[in-house]
Amino acid sequence: MKKSRNTRQRAIILEILRQTRSHPSAELIYREARKALPNISLGTVYRNLGFLREQKMVKEIRANDDAGSRFEAAIPPHGHFHCGHCNAIHDIPLPDSFNDFGWERSEFVSSVSELELHVIGACAACAPSASAN
C-alpha cells in the first residue's frame, strides 16, 4: 500500500514539473500537488523531489539568492539564466564548446562529472524597469 501511494505522489510531482518550464520551488510544487493530493505535506514533497533527483528524473537548480532550490524535470542539458530582479530562471542553450572545452587542463581539475552554466543578469521583462531605476 505504502509503495503505491509513493508511486502516485512521485508521478504527480513529476507531471507538475513536466508541464512547466518555470523551474518552480518546492513550495510551488507543493501548492500545485495539493490540488491532486490534499493531504500531502511539504516534507513529503521534498522527500519525493530528493528521490526523483537521485533517479536523475529531476534536476535541482540552486538559485542565485537565498530563496532556495528550484526544480525541473530532467531534459537535455542546457544552461540557466537567472534574473536578479524577478528571480525568474530561463533555459538557455549551452555554447558548443562547453562540454569539449577541456576543463581538465586546469591544474585544479582532475576529472569532471557534471557541468552547469549559470548566467545572471536582468531578463527581458525586467530590463526596462531595471534601467529606469
List contacts with Zn ion (CB under 5 A).
Answer: 72, 83, 85-86, 88, 91, 123, 126
Nearer to Zn ion, 6 or 79 (CB): 79
Show the CA angle centred on residue 131, arms to residues 126 and 132, nearest 5°: 100
Helix, strand, or coil (residue 66)? coil
CA 4 vs. chain centroid, Å, equals 26
Nearer to Zn ion, 40 or 83 (CB): 83
Give me the least distance between CB of 76 and Zn ion, in Å please.
10
Give me the least distance between CB of 2 and Zn ion, in Å please.
32
Give me the least distance between CB of 78 and Zn ion, in Å please.
6
Nearer to Zn ion, 34 or 78 (CB): 78
Nearer to Zn ion, 47 or 90 (CB): 90
Q: How many CA atoms lie within 13 A of 70 on its CB side?
A: 21
Which is nearest to 44 in space by CA: 24, 59, 29? Answer: 29
Give me the least distance between CB of 9 and Zn ion, in Å please.
23
Nearer to Zn ion, 17 or 83 (CB): 83
d(CA 133, CA 126): 11
Which segments of 3-124 are extended strands (E)? 58-61, 70-73, 79-83, 89-92, 118-121
Give me the least distance between CB of 99 and Zn ion, in Å please.
17
